[in-house]
Structures are given as C-alpha cells and as structure tokens.
C-alpha cells in the first residue's frame, strides 16, 4: 500500500533503521535517532542505485513523489538521475563562486605578505570600484567587456592610474582563481592596451640654485611649530619620500654612526634604506630630541604621540610660506636633490641609490641597500654644505669638484 501523510508523520524510530515503502522505488528511511529521509531505489544499466530526495518534513510526501517522478523520467530517457544531481550540485557550487567570494579569498591569502597600508588600499579599491558591479557575478561567467566596463567607469572619473591598478589587481584575482580551480581563464589579459598609458607624474619642485637659496631662507624664517620647522629643515638634507620622513622613528636613528636606517616595510620598494646623516641633519635631530625623543616618532601628530605627523603638515607649511602647489611640494625636495646632484657631477648610481629608486637593470636587479655607501656619505655631507653655501648667498663651488675625492 502507498504511504499516507498520517503514516509518514506518525512513523517512529526503533533500535534499527526502518524503511517505509511507497510506490515505484520511493521509500521513507527512519533512523534510530528519529531522522526521516526520502530515498529512491532504482536500476540503471543493470546496477542498483539509490538517490536521496530530501528530508521530511521539509520535503513532504507529495514533494518526494514529484521528485521521484522527475528522476524516473530521466531514467526513461536513458539518463542516470544521480549524474543529473551531481551536475546540478556542480552548477550551484560554480554559481556560489562569485567574483567577490574569490576576491576576498585571494585577499585573505596574500594579506599577511603586505604592509597594513597596502592591504587596506587593496580591499578599499575592490569594495568601492569592483564589488558593486561584478561582486555578485559568478567569476566563471564574467566576460572581458564586463570587466572593461567596470574599469572604464573608474577611468571616466579621471582616475586613470586607479583604473590601471584595479585592472592589474583583477588579473591577479583571476589567475588565483585559475590556480585554485575556480575559473578557467584570465579575462583581464584580454584587456591589455585597453586603457591609455599613465601620464608620468611630476611633482612641483624648485631646482634653480637662486630659488633654492630663497626657499632655504624662507624655511629658516618659518614662524610655525618648532617640530614642523625641524621637518622642513631636515627634508632637503635627507630627500626621502614625504611618508618616509613623517614616519621616522627615533629607534631608527643612530647618532653615533650618523645614519638613519629605514626598515623595508616602510619603503616603496620594500627594502631597507640607509640615509647617511650630515652634521647639519644630526644637529637638527639633536635639537628636536628633547621635545619628541621620549615617544616613538621623530615627528608625532599634535593630536596623539602614538601617531605620525599628518601628511598635510609640511604641505600646509609650504603654503603658509607662500609656495603654491605648482611651485613646491613635499616630494619636490627629492627632485631638487636629484636634479642638482646630477648637474653638479655626482655619480648617478650613487644618487639613484640614495633616492631609493628601483634597479631597472635586470642583470643588477638585486637591491643592495649599502651599495655606494662610502660615496653616498661624502655626497650627503657635501650636499648639506652646498645648501648652507646657497643659503648664505655666497658664490657656489660646483659639487663635482669634491665628488671624486
């Protein structure tokens, strides 16, 4: 006799599994713990098989019979319903692998290798620019035109460099998905050349010696906070990137060796960098030490000593001194040093190493932070002396006269 709703509802567990049969291979399996599963027993190509049709009461008797009938239709067509079930599960799993799911998996996998600032930048770029449009899409289904449309929305805001970085980031995500079996190909590779080349970014800088002299005298006359004055005076002597200067820590300064060793994670190229300190730089730091030396940062925030000085502090000071964004920036001290040191005859390799630029020659790709260090020490002291001479308004002796000593 076929089962009834009442019989199914009242089925009780016993010491062993109980099977209550319906029709055409369908039966209800009741476990000793009381669980009730619908099963379909069928024969395909001479072999007996079993297919699970769901759990009661989520799947009613009527639902179970409909699922049985659908499975038997496949059998009548020579198709194994178990294979259909496997394909449906595979498709559901593929649909669950959305771009956002895979991207966040990639992010968590590689985040420990990145600096905190880079890690935050990556996830914020994805959440703002990519997830809203492509996040819910199965990663296997995303096409190159779809990805290009998302990237061009960013380009349309005028953020061409951001668009290029996000396209590169998406390529990394697709390659990760391929490696982990979650995608078949990197569609970002199809978009090479689809964005205009990035414009080279030039930071406003002063390189004329007479104008440099005026700037140095203006810095000496700065009427703002003493800590900001020290940052302004030190910037041309060390010509590091603004972020590297702001995040300088007292533990990195060695007064005895007259050098500042910046750890790799703080550097753009992620390699340790040595900054030889001239006597003038040492004097500025010693003067500042009684004010901030008890804390972590050489230039702490005015709001909290546990944080570095704001990135806008030096820029704001330059504006107060009358220098516009088209005349001078915090980054401009690097261009100033690079231009004048090259013009005045110092070894280009020594200059590039002191600027902590990446080695572009594949044969010399290994970054040696101590390369040319003796010459760099002479160069940094001579550079500081040169700036003093400029500031004093005296006739300048070219640096190349002492560069080879």
User: Over 70: is that where the pLDDT of 394 sits?
Assistant: no
Domain at 5-91: CATH code: 3.30.160.390
- 297 part of the active site: no
More confident residue, 157 or 135: 135
Task: Write the class of the CATH domain 209-403.
Answer: mainly alpha
Q: Confidence band (pLDDT; 50, 70, 90) for 60?
A: very high
Domain at 99-191: CATH code: 1.10.150.130
User: Over 50: is that where the pLDDT of 361 sits?
Assistant: no
- 331 part of the active site: yes
Q: 134 with 147: CB under 8 angstroms?
A: yes
Q: Confidence band (pLDDT; 50, 70, 90) for 312?
A: confident
Average pLDDT over residues 254-262: 95
Q: Confidence band (pLDDT; 50, 70, 90) for 197?
A: low
Percent of the chain with pLDDT over 70: 90
User: Over 80: is that where the pLDDT of 268 sits?
Assistant: no
More confident residue, 396 or 47: 47
User: Over 80: is that where the pLDDT of 92 sits?
Assistant: no
pLDDT at 160: 81
pLDDT at 404: 43
- 241 part of the active site: yes
d(Cα 99, Cα 128) in Å, to the nearest integer?
Answer: 14
Whole-number average pLDDT of the chain: 87
Average pLDDT over residues 85-107: 80
pLDDT at 272: 87
The token duo for 327 is 């005349």
* DSSP 8-state secondary structure symbol assigned to residue 16: S
Beta strand 18-21 with 26-30 is antiparallel
Which range is most confident: 89-98, 113-122, 204-213, 279-288? 279-288
pLDDT at 1: 78
Q: Which of 67, 233, 247, 334 is catalytic?
A: 334
d(Cα 168, Cα 375) in Å, to the nearest integer?
Answer: 38
Pick the closest to residue 38 from 23, 53, 16, 49 (CA basis).
53
Q: Confidence band (pLDDT; 50, 70, 90) for 182?
A: confident
State if pTM tops 0.75.
Answer: no
pLDDT at 26: 94
Q: Which of 24, 73, 109, 268 is catalytic?
A: 268
Q: Which of 367, 372, 378, 400 is catalytic?
A: 367
Length of the chain: 405
d(Cα 169, Cα 173) in Å, to the nearest integer?
Answer: 6
C-alpha 188, offset from chain centre = 18
Q: Confidence band (pLDDT; 50, 70, 90) for 193?
A: confident
pLDDT at 121: 86
pLDDT at 21: 92
pLDDT at 400: 46
Match 């020290």 to its residue by tokens. Answer: 230
Q: 382 with 286: CB under 8 angstroms?
A: no
* DSSP 8-state secondary structure symbol assigned to residue 43: E
Percent of the chain with pLDDT over 90: 57
- 268 part of the active site: yes
**What's the burial of 197, exposed, middle or buried (CB within 10 Å: 0-12/13-18/19+)?**
exposed
| Annotated domain spans of the chain | 5-91, 99-191, 209-403
Lowest mean pLDDT among 23-37, 38-52, 199-213, 278-292: 199-213
pLDDT at 247: 93
- Is the torsion defined by CA of 5, 10, 13, 18 positive or negative? negative
pLDDT at 366: 47
- 137 part of the active site: no
Q: Which of 273, 331, 353, 377 is catalytic?
A: 331
pLDDT at 113: 85
C-alpha 51, offset from chain centre = 47
pLDDT at 201: 53
Q: Which of 36, 68, 241, 377 is catalytic?
A: 241
The token duo for 400 is 């190349």
């Amino acid at each position: 006799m076929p089962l009834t709703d009442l019989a199914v509802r009242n089925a009780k567990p016993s010491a062993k599994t109980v099977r209550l049969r319906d029709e055409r291979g369908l039966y209800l399996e009741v476990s000793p713990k009381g669980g009730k599963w619908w099963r379909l027993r069928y024969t395909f190509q001479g072999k007996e098989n079993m297919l699970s049709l769901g759990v009661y009461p989520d799947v009613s008797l009527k639902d179970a019979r409909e699922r049985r009938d659908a499975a038997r239709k496949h059998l009548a067509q020579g198709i194994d319903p178990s294979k259909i079930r496997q394909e449906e599960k595979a498709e559901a799993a593929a649909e669950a692998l959305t771009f956002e799911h895979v991207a966040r998996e990639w992010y968590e996998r590689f985040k420990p290798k990145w600096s905190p600032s880079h890690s935050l930048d990556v996830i914020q770029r994805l959440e703002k620019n990519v997830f809203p449009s492509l996040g819910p899409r199965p990663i296997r289904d995303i096409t190159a035109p779809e990805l290009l449309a998302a990237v061009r929305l960013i380009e349309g805001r005028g953020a061409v460099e951001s668009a290029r970085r996000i396209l590169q980031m998406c390529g990394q995500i697709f390659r990760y998905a391929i490696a982990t079996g979650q995608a078949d190909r990197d569609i970002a590779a199809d978009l090479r050349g689809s964005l205009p080349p990035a414009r080279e970014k030039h930071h406003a800088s002063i390189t004329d010696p007479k104008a440099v002299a005026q700037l140095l005298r203006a810095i000496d006359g700065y009427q703002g906070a003493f800590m900001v004055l020290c940052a302004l005076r030190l910037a041309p002597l060390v010509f590091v990137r603004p972020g590297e200067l702001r995040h300088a820590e007292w533990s990195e300064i060695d007064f005895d060796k007259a050098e500042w060793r910046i750890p790799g994670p703080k550097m753009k190229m992620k390699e340790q960098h040595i900054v030889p300190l001239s006597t003038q730089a040492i004097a500025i730091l010693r003067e500042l030490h009684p004010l901030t030396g008890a804390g972590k940062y050489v230039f702490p925030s005015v709001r909290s000593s546990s944080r570095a000085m704001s990135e806008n502090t030096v820029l704001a000071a330059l504006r107060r001194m009358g220098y516009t964004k088209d005349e001078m920036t915090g980054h401009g001290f690097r261009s100033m040093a690079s231009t004048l040191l090259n013009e005045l005859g110092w070894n280009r390799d020594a200059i590039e190493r002191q600027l902590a630029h990446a080695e572009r020659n594949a044969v010399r790709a290994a970054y040696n932070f101590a390369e040319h260090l003796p010459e760099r020490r002479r160069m940094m002291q001579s550079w500081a002396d040169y700036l003093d001479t400029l500031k004093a308004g005296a006739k300048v002796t070219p640096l190349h006269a002492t560069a080879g000593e």
